[in-house]
């Protein structure tokens, strides 16, 4: 199934629930903030140079007790560039990437105090999700180039049978914490920080070791070898680390959420 199918399903689900939620405690949320990546192309956990925008929408069921459940759709961009690192060996590697992320998730929110009593409620959350990504960079002529088809680390090539092609649709585990303030019966404002644990290490198209540029050039063409090895010196590093496969990539989101009560905004059919 293409990821657009998940988006259509979410839209259908939202409309269906909105049509049936009269008398129930449902809220819609608009989410806006910042996203950031950490992985093989970063040294610091947080850097202002890697901050990218993010926007999302949630549909949340309020139990009236400590546990709420939400379905969410998040749109974000992440990226990094070796030139922004301080270590000389990172800068010499000279790799970079960006990708748009579309994430669909289901999460449980656990309120740390009773929301029926308190107007200010800290909470933690966790859940499961699926996301789509497609890393790209810019070649030596400044052309935008998607990296997965180039097999820059030999993924999917018969010469490297242990390196399987990675999928552009992957599972993630969202979790984090937040603080919400009830302003009126209809509106609620929250601040949230959410971390995404990933199964893949190819969010940035970098994970393992350098492979033969001759094989890449033969199998995938000169652009593959050009973007696999971008150091300004002759290639003598086949088998040497290009990334760190022992530490998986991740991304996180932080920002504000404006929630509005749906219960009194729908009509009975």
11: alpha, beta or left? (left if phi > 0; alpha if psi -120 to 50): alpha
Q: The whole model's pTM is what?
A: 0.87
| Ordered DSSP codes for 104-138 | EEEEEEEESS-TTT-SEEEEEEEEEEEEE---EEE
The pLDDT value recorded for residue 265 is: 47
Range list of H helices, the chain:
3-20, 88-93, 213-220, 222-228
The pLDDT value recorded for residue 185 is: 80
Report mean pLDDT in 10-residue bins for the chain, 269 residues: 53 51 75 96 85 95 90 97 94 97 97 91 97 97 97 97 96 97 89 96 97 97 97 96 93 96 59
Structure tokens at 127: 């859940």
Cβ atoms within 10 Å of 45's Cβ, excluding its own? 9
Minimal CA–CA distance to 197: which of 128, 129, 250?
Answer: 250
How far lies 3's CA from each of 102, 104, 170, in Å?
8, 9, 10
Domains of the chain: 3-133+168-208+243-265 (2.40.160.20)
Over residues 148-164, the pLDDT tens digits come to: 999 999 999 999 999 99
The pLDDT value recorded for residue 24 is: 56
The pLDDT value recorded for residue 267 is: 44
Q: How many residues does the chain have?
A: 269
């Amino acid at each position: 199934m293409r990821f657009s199918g998940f988006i259509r399903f979410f839209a259908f689900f939202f409309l269906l629930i909105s049509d049936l939620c009269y008398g129930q405690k449902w809220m819609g949320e608009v989410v806006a903030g910042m996203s950031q990546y950490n992985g093989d192309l970063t040294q610091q956990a947080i850097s202002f140079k890697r901050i990218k925008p993010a926007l999302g929408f949630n549909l949340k069921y309020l139990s009236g007790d400590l546990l709420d459940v939400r379905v969410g759709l998040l749109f974000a961009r992440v990226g990094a560039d070796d030139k922004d690192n301080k270590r000389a060996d990172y800068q010499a590697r000279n790799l970079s990437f960006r990708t748009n992320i579309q994430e669909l998730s289901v999460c449980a929110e656990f309120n740390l105090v009773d929301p029926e009593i308190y107007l200010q409620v800290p909470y933690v959350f966790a859940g499961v999700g699926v996301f789509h990504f497609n890393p790209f960079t810019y070649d030596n002529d400044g052309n935008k180039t998607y990296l997965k088809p180039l097999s820059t680390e030999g993924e999917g090539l018969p010469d490297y049978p242990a390196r399987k092609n990675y999928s552009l649709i992957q599972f993630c585990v969202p979790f984090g914490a937040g603080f919400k303030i009830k302003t009126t019966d209809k509106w609620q404002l929250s601040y949230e920080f959410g971390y995404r644990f990933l199964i893949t290490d190819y969010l940035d198209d970098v994970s393992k070791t350098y492979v033969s540029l001759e094989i890449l050039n033969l199998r995938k063409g000169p652009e593959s070898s050009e973007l696999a090895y971008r150091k300004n010196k002759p290639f003598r590093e086949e088998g040497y680390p290009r990334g760190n496969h022992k530490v998986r990539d991740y991304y996180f989101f932080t920002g504000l959420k404006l929630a509005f009560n749906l219960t009194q905004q729908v009509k009975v059919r």
